[in-house]
Structure 1
Amino acid sequence: MKAAHLYLSLLVFSSASVLVNTFEPITTTVVLGIGAALGRTIYNYFHESCDSKWIAFNATGLKVDLESKLFGQHIGSRIILKALTGFMSNKNPKKPLVLSLHGHTGTGKNFVSKLIADNLYTEGMDSSFVHVFTSELHFPHSSKLETYKSQLQQWIKGNVTNCERSMFIFDEMDKMQPGLIDSIKPYLDYYDKLDGISYRKGIFIFLSNAGGESITETALDFWKAGRAREEIELNDLETLLSLSVFNNKNSGLWHTSLIDKNLVDFFVPFLPLEYRHVVQCAMAAMKAKGLHPDKNVADQVAKDVNYFPKSERVFSVKGCKTIENKLHYYT
């Protein structure tokens, strides 16, 4: 790709030079202008830019991915598809889309973020318009809280200025210093513009293990009552989840004005995964590795996973997080 880019750039330069030598001086400026415009067109073809060639939401693709690659998350799949479809079809949203994804490790929160990016940006997670912040990596020191606030504000402002369709993912929100996320509240609120910049077409995704206990308790209650997990609805969890996160001192959303001012559009619960879902993960991982999905192998992998509670062994302790690595042992 880089070689082709260089070749075409040299071709444009050479062509422009020939044209300049051929035409009278009075037309030189025009010819150079044409050459420059052509050069910009070629550059934009190969270099990611903030336009429909590089940013285009594929609702059908996201639907297919959620149905075929994400397992055991009927609530999350439905909410995320509807939220993204509605937001991206709105040419004049009143505020950015803000999603807060909650659940234990390995249930699919990071994976869903990737699926969203893959179906929105041509470059997926490698897009220069996708920005990932990890609490322990980017904001490790409590003594630097005020510095982090300023840096985070400038980072978001600069990137939205560069592209209004930017996506920001905040991982490990349960480990983020309380108060830090409030520094970006103005960018998530109902403002047309702030200092001449509109943030209304941005997407903000918070990922957190906080609230996982509440989600698990609800899922376990349904299981004990002999009810299918697919009967669990958002209204069974959303209020409980938002209160749990808001009042959890170990949550980056503890007493945050984002919740208090209703700026989080959806609290999305990710349910703990059962044995059958781990089998599905193993089958999908084999397929992704170019292997023929083998149910016997998938069962072996699933049996090697730890489950809780100890007496019932209903839910996978780590969800599907270690499945890919375990496959190396069985295949």
Structure 2
Amino acid sequence: MKLAHIILLVTAFSSSSVLVRAFDPITTTVVVGIGATLGRTIYNYLRESCDPKWISFNATGLRADLDSKLFGQHIASRIIFKALNGFLNNENPKKPLVLSLHGWTGTGKNFVSKMIAENIYREGMDSKFVHVFTSTLHFPHLSHNITYKAQLQQWIKGNVSNCERSLFIFDEMDKMQPGLIDSIKPYLDYYDKLDGVSYRKSIFIFLSNAGGESITETALDFWKAGRGREEIELKDVETALSLSVFNNNKSGFFHTSLIDKNLVDFFVPFLPLEYQHVVQCVMAGMRDRDMDPDADVADQVARDLVYFPKSERVFSVKGCKTIDSKLDYYT
């Protein structure tokens, strides 16, 4: 169907070019205008553009992905879906959506970021409107902080000017130089426009291991008290998490104005994963490889991982981080 549309548009575009030579100047202007419009339409069919054809929120898809692929994260799943669904269905948001995802490695932070991109952008993480910054790669030297701040502001302004529905993902926030992230504070605030550019429809996601200790402590307290994991609510961890991150002098969020001025919409806790969740990760990994899920293999992989506390072996140290490579060994 799409190919037929393109052929029809190309034919019409070619015909309009031929007709230009046969009409008077006024008619020629009209036909050229039509040809230019058709040309832009063809361009948008073939190449990604900031257009609903390429950028469209799939709420059903995100809900299904969170339910079937993200394990052991009932709090994160609920917050992320509600936040995105509300924001992306609001035609006039007052500010960009800012999510800060926290938890130990292997708990699903990067995985969720990928889900979000895939359910908003047709090209997913390969979209030219999805921008990923990794602290140790893009901002490695403390001595270059002033340069990094200027570059970061230019990158964000330039990309949002190109498409207001841009997604920015900042990975390894716990390794970012303190003070650097404050350079983008104006873009996350309640402004209609800054220098003619509106940032209100953009999304900013921060990923960090910082705060993992606070989250784990809460999860362990619930376990020791004999309370179910599903009983943990956002209110049980949010305040302690935000304070822990704000006061961590080795984190990119240390005393940041983003937190001080309440510009982070949600601090999203990712709980440490238990044995049962690791088994689910292994089974999902097998399905992704078009293998028949084998419960015995999943059990063996999960049992061979390191857990803490040592005596009780409750939580996986690496979560599901190394599952893919483990499958190469066990299958």
What secondary structure does 1:237 align onto? helix
**Residue 261 of structure 2 aligns with which residue?**
261
Q: Distance in 2 between matches of 1:178 and 1:100?
A: 16
TM-score, scaled relative to structure 2: 0.94
Q: How many Å separate the matches in 1 of 2:36 and 2:188?
A: 39
CA contact (8 A) 2:174 2:251 kept: yes
Give, in whole Å, the separation in 1 of the partners of 2:66 and 2:10.
Answer: 44
Q: Which residue of 2 aligns with 1:208?
A: 208
1:131 Cα deviation after fit: 0.5
TM-score, length-scaled by structure 1? 0.94
TM-aligned CA deviation for residue 99 of structure 1: 0.5
Q: Which residue of 2 aligns with 1:234?
A: 234
Offset of residue 25 of structure 1: 5.5
Q: Is the 8 A contact 2:6 2:42 kept in 1?
A: no
Structure 2 counterpart of 1:128: 128
Please show how residues 61-80 of structure 1 align to structure 2 within 5 Å.
61-80=61-80
- Distance in 2 of aligned mates of 1:136 and 1:196: 32
Counterpart contact for 1:5–1:43, Cα < 8 Å: no
What do residues 221-270 of structure 1 show as CA deviations (whole Å, max 9, x unaligned)? Answer: 11111111111110110000000000001110000011111111110100
Q: Give the superposed CA RMSD.
A: 1.9
Determine the structure 2 residue equivalent to 1:158: 158
> One-letter code of the match for 1:299?
D
After superposition, the C-alpha distances for 1:34-83 in whole angstroms (9 at most, x for unaligned) are 33322211111111111211111111111110000000000000000111
What is the distance in 1 between the residues matched to 2:51 and 2:8? 22
1:12, 1:39 within 8 Å by CA — same for their partners in 2? no
More divergent stretch after superposition (131-140 vs 297-306)? 297-306
Alpha-carbon displacement from aligned partner over 1:96-142 (angstroms, at most 9, x marks no partner): 11101000000000000011111111111111111000000000010
Q: How does 1:108-119 map to 2 (within 5 A)?
A: 108-119=108-119
Q: Which residue of 1 aligns with 2:291?
A: 291
Question: Is 1:223 paired with 2:223?
Answer: yes
Give the match for residue 182 of structure 2.
182
Match of 1:271 in 2: 271
| Partner Cα distance (2:115, 2:308) in 1 | 28
Match of 1:313 in 2: 313
Q: Residues 117 and 124 of structure 1 are in contact (CA less than 8 Å); yes or no, is this contact kept in structure 2?
A: yes
> How far apart, in 2, do the equivalents of 1:310 and 1:209 lie?
21
Q: Which runs of 5+ in 2 are unaligned?
A: none
Q: SS of the residue aligned with 2:56?
A: coil
Q: Secondary structure at the match of 1:159?
A: helix
Alignment CA distance shift 1:13-1:91 (3 Å)? closer
Structure 1 partner of 2:141: 141
Q: d(CA) in 2 for partners of 1:182 and 1:4?
A: 50
Measured in 1, the distance between the counterparts of 2:23 and 2:184 equals 57
3-state DSSP of counterpart to 1:101: strand
- 1:30 Cα deviation after fit: 3.8
Q: Percent identity?
A: 79
Superposed displacement of residue 5, structure 1:
12
How far off is 1:8 after superposition?
8.7
